[in-house]
Structure formats: structure tokens, C-alpha cells
Structure 1
Amino acid sequence: MSSQMAIGVLVIVAVLAIRTAVAEGRSKGSGLKHWSFLGNRWAATAGAFAFVGMTIAVVVSGADWGNVAWALLAGLLSAFIIDQLTKQQP
């Protein structure tokens, strides 16, 4: 894993952790709300498929294995977006 890629992934993970901690500090229980999208079965499944698909693309292309961390973040983002879209439906 190149150092730039590692730093990028660490920065994003740190931002997510800080965001959750600040929200939890402001009102108890809100940290769980930030990650509640993982409880949505459809969203979690979509995120898992996005992660697996991107990981397969990394393996097939012969890219650096550090890209798997980006695939994980993309899977989380996909799950979050799907959760938000399913909440909007009546």
C-alpha cells in the first residue's frame, strides 16, 4: 500500500470516528443513529455487494491491495445512500 493511499484512508476513517464521537458527545445515543443504516437489511446487502464487486475488480486488475480499503469505504457509502433512499419512500 502506498503511503499516500494509507494516509487518505486513515484520514477518512478518522473523520468518521470524530464525527461519531462529537455527535455522541452532544446527545447520548446519536452516535448509534449515525451507523443505524447498517441495520437496514437492503442497505447492508447493497453495501456488501458494492464492496465485493470492487474487491474483485482490484484483484482482477492486479491493483494495489490498499485499494480494498477504499472498496470498504465505497461499500459503506453505498449502504448509507441506499438507506437514505429507502427512508424517503412513503
Structure 2
Amino acid sequence: MEGRLMSDFITLCLQEKRRPEEIDDYVDAWHDGEPALPLHEFLGMTPAEYQLWVQAPSILPLILDARRTGKDAAGLIAQFNALHHG
């Protein structure tokens, strides 16, 4: 995997060229390479999305859904939590 020569992981997932469960391969490639980008940028995440994903990796499908619909993942998660824990 060549840093800037490839699409980021999130973009590839949205294009259905990668599956969410393949994210560990991308993280490994970042660690194995000479990263020119922070991991969140390499994966194609915003800092807020990355923070959510680090705290709860199972949130990745929600991040992808938010991207597909043009919504903010952090906002959607906050709304979800308010509905289910409020």
C-alpha cells in the first residue's frame, strides 16, 4: 500500500472496494510504512471520527453510514445516545 497513491480506507469502503473489517490491515500498513500522515488521515477519518473509532471500534459502520448520508458521525452518535440513555 503506497501512502498517497491509493485512496484512503474510508473512501474505498464507501466505493465498496474494501470491507470495514479490513481496517486492521490498513492500520498495520501505516505502522509498517514510513507514515507521512497521521493515522486518522491515512484512514480517511476526521479527528472526531477517529476518536470515536478508537474508543469503540464497532462504531465504524455508523461512521460509514454518516459519510454516505452527509451527516456528522459525532452528532449522530450523540443523538443516538440521548435517545437510548436519556
Please report the TM-score for the alignment, with normalisation by the length of structure 2. Answer: 0.25
Please report the TM-score for the alignment, with normalisation by the length of structure 1. Answer: 0.25
Structure number with bigger Rg: 1
Bigger RCO of structures 1 and 2 (CA < 8 A, at least 6 apart) = 1
